[in-house]
């Protein structure tokens, strides 16, 4: 009888070994003997240090500064064209200038939104790396598989960062003492950030 499609058997006749796929490749994320996933951590992989995670976030944030240039131009136009009403003491802006300021603010908002979707959802979801994570050699992965989590879950994880902010930003500091260096969002979504430079 052909054994095509069946996993290779070990000497005892059992199909395959724990942690090994049907083609003989070792899967470090697979369950170990006894049915436990060895703390869910692949051998030879280390969790990203908190400092690296902060550094990656700062790099990703700095990239947004040029995207805000239209907004700051609008602020300058508003400041240069506004007049103080001598009666009320309030600053007024003519309609044409107000419209231009609004358009420039919308441009900055759309550019920032597009960057967020591309970098934090699409790019990070598909590869595990934002621009900042790629620079510092750290990667976001799913705890069960060690693979990127996909664009949809990457977006959900960004929303879950609200949990990190609520108790005085404690969730963002949690990786400092957590054994798996996870934020609250990581724990809820089931992700790790590991040291893995881009190939």
In a domain, 1, yes or no: no
State the pLDDT at residue 63: 95
Give the tens place of pLDDT for each residue, 12-30. Answer: 444 444 445 444 555 555 4
State the pLDDT at residue 88: 64
Structure tokens at 100: 């231009």
- Count of domains forming the chain: 1
Give the tens place of pLDDT for each residue, 108-154. Answer: 999 999 999 999 999 999 999 999 999 999 999 999 999 999 999 99
Integer CA distances (angstroms), 160 to 51, 114, 170, in order: 21, 20, 14
In a domain, 162, yes or no: yes
In a domain, 157, yes or no: yes
In a domain, 173, yes or no: yes
* Mean pLDDT of the chain, nearest integer: 81
User: What is the pLDDT confidence band of residue 35, given thresholds at 50, 70 and 90?
Assistant: very low
Give the tens place of pLDDT for each residue, 61-75. Answer: 999 999 999 989 988
State the pLDDT at residue 166: 87
In a domain, 41, yes or no: no
Residue 186 reports pLDDT greater than 70? yes
* Higher-pLDDT residue of 198, 191: 191
CA atoms of 179 and 156, how far apart (whole Å) = 23
In a domain, 166, yes or no: yes
Integer CA distances (angstroms), 91 to 28, 88, 99, 165, in order: 64, 9, 16, 36
Residue 4 reports pLDDT greater than 50? no
Q: Residue 146 sits in which domain range?
A: 50-195
State the pLDDT at residue 70: 92
């Amino acid at each position: 009888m052909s054994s095509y499609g069946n996993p290779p058997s070990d000497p005892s006749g059992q199909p395959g070994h724990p942690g090994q796929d049907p083609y003989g490749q070792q899967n470090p994320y697979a369950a170990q003997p006894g049915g436990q996933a060895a703390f869910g951590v692949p051998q030879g992989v280390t969790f990203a240090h908190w400092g690296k995670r902060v550094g990656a976030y700062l790099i990703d944030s700095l990239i947004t500064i040029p995207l805000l240039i239209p907004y700051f131009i609008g602020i300058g136009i508003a400041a240069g064209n506004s007049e103080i009403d001598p009666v009320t003491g309030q600053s007024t802006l003519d309609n044409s200038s107000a419209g231009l300021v609004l358009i420039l603010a919308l441009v900055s908002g759309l550019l920032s939104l597009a960057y967020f979707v591309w970098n934090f959802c699409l790019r990070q979801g598909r590869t595990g790396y934002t621009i900042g994570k790629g620079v510092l050699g750290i990667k976001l992965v799913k705890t069960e598989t060690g693979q990127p989590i996909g664009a949809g879950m990457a977006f959900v994880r960004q929303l879950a960062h609200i949990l990190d902010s609520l108790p005085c930003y404690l969730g963002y500091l949690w990786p400092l003492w957590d054994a798996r260096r996870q934020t609250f969002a990581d724990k809820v979504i089931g992700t790790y950030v590991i040291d893995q430079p881009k190939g």
